[in-house]
Amino acid sequence: MTDNLTDLTIHVAHELLKAKKISSVELTKQYLARIKVVDAQVRAIVNVTEDFALQQAKKADEIIAAGKSVPLTGVPFLLKDNMSTKGIKTTCSSKMLENFIPPYDATVVEKLNSVGAVMVGKANMDEYAMGSSTENSAFFTTHNPWDLSRVPGGSSGGSAAGVAAGEAVFALGSDTGGSIRQPAGFCNVTGFKPTYGRVSRYGLVAFASSLDQIGPLTKDALDAALVMNVISGHDTADSTSATEPVPDYTKGLAKDLKGMKIGIPKEYFVEGMQPEVDAAIKAAIKQLEELGAKVDWGVSLPQTPHALAVYYIIAPSEASANLARYDGSKYGFSYLNTDNMWEGMEKTKQLGFGPEVKRRIMLGNYALSSGYYDAYYLKAQKVRTLIRREFDAAFEKYDALVTPTSPTVPFKIGERADNPVQMYLSDVCTLPINIAGIPGISIPAGFAQGLPIGMQIIGKPFAEDTLLKISYAYQQVTDWHKRRPAV
Ligand code: GLN
């Protein structure tokens, strides 16, 4: 039953730990050993936190012995390296923060610590979460465990690849325009971006504050519900976190979808989409119909094509403001050891940030500058409202919308690296969801030439339970999510 201990879900790991078939220390050692073997190829992790993990595991075993364990207690996980960990480097995969050791934990980290979850490492990412392939990491590129010559997606590529390769049971990622869902789709795991404000952002290194949201990457929908139960909720340290009560997300999971109304917005089946992706998603939707959902195949959300432009004005604008703090005078990389302070600050940014981050700062400063503000930033905010209203109207008729997560399967490393616009297009299906602040999940829904295909399910604000219910029902009748790469 327990031959493959590095292929566990949270719910199975919990049963084994609770029944004392294995201790958290033993389990953690198994994962650390697995990391040593596979991470030489996959490169999902920037910092393996071995000593910390073993300490945490010991504490978890005490919680279990005291009969106080909950499903995440003693379970190994990876944390995207843009979430603060007290006393442990938090690099954002940037030279700017390469040696930054935060004096505090992010709220999600505090919450995971409080139930005795075991962090085995900090996961690689695109620098400051800007990217769709993890190629923008200042340190190294993560490889897709399904085909090492391909990208794992991004920006939470390390989190997704790590879970897919069995380096941890689950991971946390962050999603500003698709960074949890797109890599989840590329690596064949379940990736959940909750409603904006559902999970506290305190201690998450800011990229675009009105879009950023933390969420889980797991092996199935039940595990996503279990992580959501721990990390969700209001936080006085994040004034944008929601006061909406947190339900038990495992409660609504059911085997059928009777009475559920699902819409299929045609604009998400974009031109240039890979035919195998189109076919797989349509087959998956038919399966939702068989589970009892009523599907409307003819939904139209005509604002959708504007989402990409809106995102690439708003996200860089917010980023340019958020990243102004990295001037070498407070923390992180500094080049202030010259006579001229201004020159020192300039040099700090020049040497500390990679090319994509600089591109975003320039785009943002341009869109916010006087003379262009009205034409770009203000216009984008207005279209943002239209996009949100269009979703509001759709959710008066449908419980959920279903789309592909990405128009293609994972692409080759290097294929889009020199073409920012082509890279930006990887997220056409996921960006609108952040713009509207609504929840979205990506679940495994098929393969083409041995490469994973993700299906995205979108819901109205705080309908996390609906998305988990659909995902769970689908995973009861399919086994895509159980497939593992041969790495
Ligand atoms: N790929 C998008 C970008 O580069 C989204 C990134 C994200 O969600 N963090 O901005």
From the CA of 126, how far away is ligand 1's center (Å)?
A: 9
Give the burial class of 406: count Cβ atoms within 10 A of its Cβ; 0-12 exposed, 13-18 middle, 19 or more buried: buried
Nearest alpha carbon, ligand 1 atom 4: 131
How far does the centroid of ligand 1 lie from the alpha carbon of residue 343, in Å? 30
CA-132 nearest atom, ligand 1: 1
Q: List the pLDDT tens digit at each of the 487 positions of the chain.
A: 345 788 999 999 999 999 999 999 999 999 999 999 999 999 999 999 999 999 999 999 999 999 999 999 999 999 999 999 999 999 999 999 999 999 999 999 999 999 999 999 999 999 999 999 999 999 999 999 999 999 999 999 999 999 999 999 999 999 999 999 999 999 999 999 999 999 999 999 999 999 999 999 999 999 999 999 999 999 999 999 999 999 999 999 999 999 999 999 999 998 889 999 999 999 999 999 999 999 999 999 999 999 999 999 999 999 999 999 999 999 899 999 778 999 999 999 999 999 999 999 999 999 999 999 999 999 999 999 999 999 999 999 999 999 999 999 999 999 998 888 888 888 999 999 999 999 999 999 999 999 999 999 999 999 999 999 999 999 999 999 999 999 9
To the nearest 10 degrees (0 to 180), the angle between helices 221-231 and 464-477 is 150
Q: Which two tokens stand for residue 308?
A: 């990409």
**Residue 129 CA: which ligand 1 atom is closest?**
9
- Which residue intervals of 115-220 are DSSP H helices? 157-164, 181-187
The ligand 1 atom at the shortest distance from the C-alpha of residue 131 is 4
Q: Which of 427, 429, 430, 434 to mutate to test the pocket of ligand 1 (most atoms within 8 A of CB)?
A: 427
* Ligand 1 binding pocket mutation candidate from 179, 180, 211, 217 (most atoms within 8 A of CB): 179
Contact criterion met (CB below 8 Å) for 230 and 75: no
Distance, CA 313 to ligand 1 centroid (Å)?
A: 13
Cβ(264)–Cβ(278) below 8 Å: no
Q: From CA 258, how far away is CA 84, in angstroms rounded?
A: 42
Measured from the CA of 434, which atom of ligand 1 is nearest?
A: 8
Ligand 1 site residues (CB inside 6 A) read 129-132, 155, 175-179, 207, 315, 427
Q: In what order do the strands lie in the sheet with 170-175?
A: 45-48, 118-123, 76-80, 170-175, 213-218, 190-193, 440-448, 451-459, 400-404, 261-265, 294-299
Question: Which class would CATH give 1-487?
Answer: alpha beta
CA nearest ligand 1 atom 5, residue: 177
What is the 434 CA–ligand 1 centroid distance (Å)?
10
Closest CA to 99 of 255, 331, 312, 254: 331
Q: How far is the CA of 296 from the centre of ligand 1 (A)?
A: 30
Give the catalytic positions in this structure. Answer: 80, 155, 179
Rg (CA), the chain: 21
Tell me how far the alpha carbon of residue 112 lies from the centroid of ligand 1, in angstroms.
25
Query: What distance in Å separates the CA atoms of residue 19 and residue 16, rounded to the nearest whole number?
Result: 5
Q: Please answer whether residues 431 and 445 qualify as being in contact, where contact means their C-beta atoms are separated by less than 8 angstroms.
A: no
Mutate to test the pocket of ligand 1, among 176, 312, 411 (most ligand atoms within 8 A of CB): 176
**Counting atoms of ligand 1 from 1, which one is nearest the CA of 154?**
1
